[in-house]
Amino acid sequence: MPIDATRPYDDENIFARILRGEIPSKTVYEDDHVLAFRDINPLAPTHILVIPKGRYVSWDDFSERGSADEIAALVKAVGKIARDEGLVEPGYRVLANVGMNSGQEVPHLHVHIFGGKPLGPMLAR
């Protein structure tokens, strides 16, 4: 169910629980600011979620309150993961949903990396 991205951060969201180690994940990358792991319900052969370790509800929240180091770490992590997964040459998609109209379901910023097959048009026409 889509969430209201203007609401306060919920410490019980699934990604907060993954960050605390309460729920396991298949980690593909981690540094001081970022955790990345495989999606448990992948929509493409490669479907990785990249999240900041800080308490940010959405891209909007992160871009307003995140430090320069956190923002740089997230962007650099997406690129490194794509390279490590062999996605650069064939191509890949990066997606971050924000709020209800986009279908954001978890109130913690997460960036999807999709690849491993032709992904089709960005939005249904």
Catalytic residue numbers? 110
CB 106 within 8 A of CB 15: yes
- Give the CA distances from residue 3 to residues 11, 89, 106, 114, in Å, rounded to whole numbers and listed in that order: 14, 35, 7, 22
Q: Which ranges in 7-67 belong to alpha helices (H)?
A: 14-19, 59-65
